[in-house]
Structure 1
Amino acid sequence: MARPQCDSTHAPFEVLLQQLLQLHTQRCRCRRRRRFVLLGVFVLLLLLFITLLQIFMPARPGPDTYWQQEFIGSVNNASIRNHVFCLTKEPHVAGTPEDFATAEYVFQRFQDYGLSAHYTDYDVLLSYPLHRSLILSAPTKEPLVLSLKEKPVEGDVYSSNPKVMPTFHGFSPSGNVSAEVVYANYGRLEDFQKLENLGINVKDAIVIARYGLIYRGDIVENAALAGAVAVVIYSDPQDYAANYTQGVYPYGRWLPPSGTQRGSVYKGLGDPLTPGWPSTPDAERISLTDPETMLPTIPSLPISAEDALPILASLSGPTSPAEWHGALDLPQYRVGRGPGALNFSFSANQTVTQIRNVIATIKGAEEPDRYIILGNHRDAWVFGAVDPHSGTASLLEVAQRLGELVVKGWQPRRSIVLCSWDAEEYGVVGSTEWVGQNIDLLGINAVAYLNLDACVIGPGFSAGVSPQLDGLLQEVTKQVKDPDSVDDTVFEAWIASGKGSAPLIGRLGGGLTDFAAFLQHAGVPALDLEFGDDNPMYHSVYDNFNWVEKFGDPLFHCHVAVTRLLGLLAMRLSSDAVLPLDYITYATELQSYAMQVQTQLAQCKAPSVSVNPLISAISSMKEAAIQIKQQAKQPQGSLSPSAVLRRRFVNDRLLQAERAFLDDKGLTGIGQSWYRHLVYGPVRENVYGTYGTTTFPGIQTALAQALAESNEHDNDAKRRQWAAVQHEIWRVARVVERSALVLQGSLT
């Protein structure tokens, strides 16, 4: 069949159809091009908008910064003020019903803030006054019965509270003696040596000394070593009342003439009857007469400047050295002996008494077995508005505000433990017993201990810090506004208060408050915060709410600042993926200490004593510190099991490095093996003459003893003393080398 042929009449229509199709295609292409152009313009405008937002809008903080800012903004001075007011309504010496009432107050607040809280009780030796009498007699005058009372002052209801316990020294033994009086300045060893040089015999005398430069327990011990039978200690207006030139309370911030400083004269830490083990109800207890209790052997009493004046006026003998003169209304200070004499009578009730710590916890989400510990003591000799409740109020405010953050969704990586200690005033008892009972867990898990005590006395920030915490503290002080500046941060005001471009950072080790057991015995890095300097109302009836509101911190802004600092430190230590502990700073500081020892040895021309072992060990530690800091900088965001384990390994070494500075034999040179830290610690005043912290205390004690022997003619004794100095250098070198190995993290 033939194939059909196309009709030629359709050709014009096909051409028209093709033209229409071409036109439609061109229009579609134009529309697509317009869409692409419009889309491109939109994308460019969007990018421009985002760029402008980044330039002109503040960046949204990261999660950690956000929570820190939330905490800073939440701290409330009215809340803190209320805590101070409530806690200081009544006197509350440790072991009394009023003291247990403060424990209940703290416990209830912890629970109110959503924290898990509990009590930990101990049975410890405490002492209370039963009878006190001091009668001054002089050849030409009638006997004078001294007041031994602090006088009520105008407008201060606290100073007339009938529940105030009479002034006394904690753990002073009872005694009744009559003897002539000798004035011994601050009661230092050098002061008693000066009396001996003046030909003044202290044996069987009653010593009068003034508070100020050394611990009151050292004054009593030094007097006992010199042969005295009793001691009275007073607060000279030169040291506590600005020479009576600026007004005394209630018209000024300074101690009134009748103000009296109470305090313990116990030389140890913790319960005297359970040295080295916790004082649980069924614990072993040694005899009260056992020398290991470290209790004083002669009685003592604190007295006021008002009562000291007639005593010192009754003395004759040589005029005291010019530097011994205080600001009492006397033409001159004479040392005695006599002719003024005192009839001294004191009796005390020394009894085993229950005390109560209050412990609360914010559990960590990822590492609940790691502890950031915050602490402050709660007992007071009277009302304790500054010492300790400026710290208690701040601790409670931190608890409340962190509890609120938890409700809002914040979770610390590690656990935060908040501790309210009891019986600190008697000898750091509550915290020492708790550390002793928990020493093994703390050794494994405690990251740091952050302490508050009398943390607000007035303006001006200061801190005592373990060196690896220096950097963290400086970072945190840059986040908090200084309470006494318009624009400055705490960090800026801190620098301005000193000299140079870096803040003046103190060190810990004197063992005078609750950080002692953590740092000195357990090897936990520690920190202690404070605003203000010397407290003129220290341990007197005038350390009360009225004084704080009039003179200490009227608007409670310093309380707010220290609370913010404490909370931020706790948040960083509990939440940073890698612990913010810098051991390069530590090693650098140890290098400067070693150079000081080397200079001391050169100055005294020590025979055959070398500091080289210590310098070499510190060099190893610094290398290891640099190495671990580099490891800590590696990316930490990964949640893989291997990454988490690597981070934990770094943190374990940072946590344990401080423990390596402990030696089980302790500071044997001062007879106190309880103090195990060989880098920072107290030095026995009888040997070296310091009140606070000394670096390399074992070396310094041995060096002081060697210098004391340098004038002796026994060459064998001299050689033994210098050999002891070398031994102490080796001991410190060994613990520093151990710390280096911990940071290094590999077996030899």
Structure 2
Amino acid sequence: MFKTAIATFIPILASSFLLFVPLPKPTYHSLYLSNSLSDNASISHFLYALTRRPHVAGSEANSDAATFVLSTLTSSNIHSHIAHYLVALTLPSSRSLSLTPPPPDPPVNFELRQEIYDGDPYADVADQVVPTFHAYAKSGSVTGPVVYVNYGRVEDYVTLKEMGVNVSGAVVLARCGKIFRGDIVQNADMEGAVGALVYTDRKDYGGERWFPEDKWMPPSGVQVGSVFSGVGDPTTPGWPSTEDCERLNDEEVENGGQVPLIPSLPISAQDGERILRSIGGQVAKVDWQGSKDGPIYRVGPGPGTVNLSYIGKQYIGTIQNVIGVIEGAEEPDRFVILGNHRDAWTFGAADPNSGTATLLEVAQRLGKLQEKGWKPRRTIILCSWDAEEYGLIGSTEWVEDNREMLASRAVAYLNVDTGVCGPGFYASATPQLDGLLKKATQQVQDPDNSSQTIYQSWFGSSNSAEIERLGGGESDFAAFVQHIGIPSAMLSYGSGYPVFHSMYDDFVWMQKFGDPGFHRHVAVASVWGLIALWLADETFLPFNYLSYAEELQKYVKDLEHEISGKDINLTPLFKSIEELENSATKINNQIKVYGPSKHNIYGSKSFPGIEDAIIEAKSLNSRVMEICTA
């Protein structure tokens, strides 16, 4: 009888004891991906809550969004706070645009307004949408003949010069999409134009049907955005924008060369086409033409002339970065940082709040792991940035405010901006993170094809897909990569979408076209969080610098081709890369085989993970038996 009772009691006691023993880290990582923790319904709820009102940086609505993010992180047992900065923001005070076409057509005064669509559930807050404008645009009023400049690239102006077309004194009309809108305006200024209009061409953003019937930009849709080409607060370059900080004046900012010196406005496809119909001169090249049912594009100048007037208001506004911290148990002074910006030009369902909702999903899953006993080895920091749309301001000010600490302690920065805007997985990274991206996508199911992983659909049978490199300043990784040299990555589902930065980027668009079941959001959360867990929990940081060496070899080969025939010796550069490759190979081999046992940090064991697992299993068995036989 006694033996039977003991035999029954031992497994019960063992099960109870195991509830209080932390699981191996890989078990938590697998649990993170399980259906029991992921929740597309909660992501949908997060996105709906975040996008009920337009919430441009500095607004009350964006402050409310910060409060929502803060409370959600806190409810997931993540210690959180708000970091405030006082930064230079701009809004339009007045703007107007009129066209004087050739006779007999009458003058046109454009409304510069995005139209509410039939059944728009956000019609009652449409008046809160910021008027269409370019942030940090030059104030002024200009009049001139119109010249069509295609996408406003340097090569487009070369083509115009070859055609004998001079843009000096003209107002240029450019379609957006190929280069940064700020560069469009800067290029126009460099060529002598007095103003710039940037429109969303139907060939790039439109379709036979448009939102809400289809995904395409409505004819009145306008792509709002900043024309500041720097990062951070333009008045505090290199230092944080705190209450009593020193600031550059307007003249000093303009002399810095990162804000345009001619006025500009973004306009809709329908307004752009109306202006195009007023332009004469030579017919533009075939690849400069628009949609099949549109007008024939000519380059001008004129005879149509426009008057463009824009007056901006600059003010010092308060922005709010929400920072959540899960402290590391063994290396609390080493940081794995995840970030997404929260502010939007309008409703921001895709850009950026698909990423914000995904960040909150990651936080929710990590909170559930903590409830089950998981603690990260290194500290994980979750960041909801503000004022990204103006010029990556929130993230840059935070990096400038914590530069020394982050430069010495940050392990990696993982960014998601527009988390989801359509099908297809995309990733960019510094090379040492390539392996983690591939490994993570091999463990997450493709949300659009349950028979394969994201990796299989991403790379396919031809292995033609690429991990892009983080170069420019298109999102919040910029300060981490370019200012303090932190390994970084950015990921998304979908790349580019028609209603970008317009008032039609709302929850309805996402629900109908971006991600109807919110399963792509779940997939991004899985990949994002899994990489963070590996970086936070692995004893040895899982970087692969062989990828870095291989990437450098590609660049040097390109450089060698460019300088062919010149008396330049690249042998020292090739030798340095070879040394890096040899060192990376040696480190990778040592990490795979040797490492400190958790039970003897001064010693070295072959396959230490296996050794630790054996020791822990023996120890657990001994403790259970001691309790049962006591």
**Inter-CA distance 608–172: structure 2 relative to 1 (3 Å threshold):** same
Offset, 1:329: 4.0
2:586 counterpart residue number: 627
**1:693-732 matched pairs, under 5 angstroms:** none
Offset, 1:491: 1.0
Offset, 1:79: 0.3
1:367 counterpart residue number: 331
Offset, 1:138: 1.8
**1:102-121 matched pairs, under 5 angstroms:** 102-121=65-84
Which structure 2 segments of 5+ residues have no match? Answer: 1-21, 608-630
Q: Matches of 2:605 and 2:107 in 1, distance apart? A: 77
Of 231, 252, 257, the residue aligned with 1:269 is 231
2:525 counterpart residue number: 563
Of 24, 38, 49, the residue aligned with 1:63 is 24
The CA deviation string for residues 618-647 of structure 1, in whole angstroms up to 9 with x for no partner, is 011111111222222203324334249999
Larger radius of gyration: 1
| Aligned residue identity for 2:203 | Q
Q: Matches of 1:76 and 1:156 in 2, distance apart? A: 27
Describe the SS at the equivalent of 1:426. helix
Describe the SS at the equivalent of 2:602. helix
RMSD of equivalent CA atoms: 1.8
Amino-acid identity (%) = 47
Describe the SS at the equivalent of 1:409. coil
Of 388, 394, 403, the residue aligned with 1:430 is 394
Q: Matches of 2:464 and 2:251 in 1, distance apart? A: 50
Offset, 1:295: 1.7
Contact kept, 8 Å, 1:266 with 1:426, in 2: the verdict is yes
The CA deviation string for residues 717-741 of structure 1, in whole angstroms up to 9 with x for no partner, is xxxxxxxxxxxxxxxxxxxxxxxxx
**Inter-CA distance 401–354: structure 2 relative to 1 (3 Å threshold):** same
Describe the SS at the equivalent of 1:404. helix
2:514 counterpart residue number: 552
- More strand, by proportion: 2
Offset, 1:302: 0.3
1:100 counterpart residue number: 63
| Aligned residue identity for 1:93 | V
**Inter-CA distance 644–355: structure 2 relative to 1 (3 Å threshold):** farther
TM score, norm. by length of structure 2: 0.90
The CA deviation string for residues 181-206 of structure 1, in whole angstroms up to 9 with x for no partner, is 11100001111122222222211111
Q: Matches of 1:270 and 1:159 in 2, distance apart? A: 33
TM score, norm. by length of structure 1: 0.76
1:701 counterpart residue number: none
Q: Matches of 2:509 and 2:172 in 1, distance apart? A: 32
Offset, 1:520: 1.1
Describe the SS at the equivalent of 1:416. strand
**Inter-CA distance 371–342: structure 2 relative to 1 (3 Å threshold):** same
Offset, 1:328: 6.9
Offset, 1:331: 4.2
Q: Matches of 1:640 and 1:233 in 2, distance apart? A: 64
Which structure 1 segments of 5+ residues have no match? Answer: 1-60, 648-748
Contact kept, 8 Å, 1:275 with 1:293, in 2: the verdict is no
2:487 counterpart residue number: 525
Describe the SS at the equivalent of 1:249. coil
**Residue 596 (structure 1) aligned with residue 596 (structure 2):** no
Contact kept, 8 Å, 2:23 with 2:373, in 1: the verdict is no
Describe the SS at the equivalent of 1:148. coil
Offset, 1:250: 1.0
The CA deviation string for residues 477-497 of structure 1, in whole angstroms up to 9 with x for no partner, is 11111100021011111122x
| Aligned residue identity for 2:106 | E
Contact kept, 8 Å, 1:93 with 1:379, in 2: the verdict is yes
1:192 counterpart residue number: 157
**Residue 587 (structure 1) aligned with residue 549 (structure 2):** yes
Describe the SS at the equivalent of 1:133. strand
The CA deviation string for residues 124-157 of structure 1, in whole angstroms up to 9 with x for no partner, is 1110011111111023121111121111112222
1:613 counterpart residue number: 572
Of 597, 605, 623, the residue aligned with 1:637 is 597
More contact order relative to length (CA 8 Å, sep ≥ 6):
2
- More helix, by proportion: 1
Q: Matches of 1:431 and 1:586 in 2, distance apart? A: 26
**Residue 82 (structure 1) aligned with residue 45 (structure 2):** yes
Bigger shift: 261-270 or 323-332? Answer: 323-332
Offset, 1:69: 2.2
Offset, 1:502: 6.4
**Inter-CA distance 203–502: structure 2 relative to 1 (3 Å threshold):** closer
**Inter-CA distance 296–501: structure 2 relative to 1 (3 Å threshold):** closer
Q: Matches of 1:568 and 1:155 in 2, distance apart? A: 40
Q: Matches of 2:151 and 2:78 in 1, distance apart? A: 46
Offset, 1:601: 2.1
Offset, 1:286: 1.0
Offset, 1:599: 1.8
Q: How many residues align?
A: 579
Q: Matches of 1:390 and 1:319 in 2, distance apart? A: 42
Describe the SS at the equivalent of 1:488. strand
| Aligned residue identity for 1:270 | G
Q: Matches of 2:294 and 2:536 in 1, distance apart? A: 57
**1:340-419 matched pairs, under 5 angstroms:** 340-419=304-383
**Inter-CA distance 348–76: structure 2 relative to 1 (3 Å threshold):** same
The CA deviation string for residues 669-725 of structure 1, in whole angstroms up to 9 with x for no partner, is xxxxxxxxxxxxxxxxxxxxxxxxxxxxxxxxxxxxxxxxxxxxxxxxxxxxxxxxx
Offset, 1:62: 7.3
Contact kept, 8 Å, 2:83 with 2:320, in 1: the verdict is yes
Of 135, 139, 143, the residue aligned with 1:170 is 135
Describe the SS at the equivalent of 2:57. coil
| Aligned residue identity for 1:226 | E
| Aligned residue identity for 2:170 | A
Of 405, 412, 429, the residue aligned with 1:465 is 429
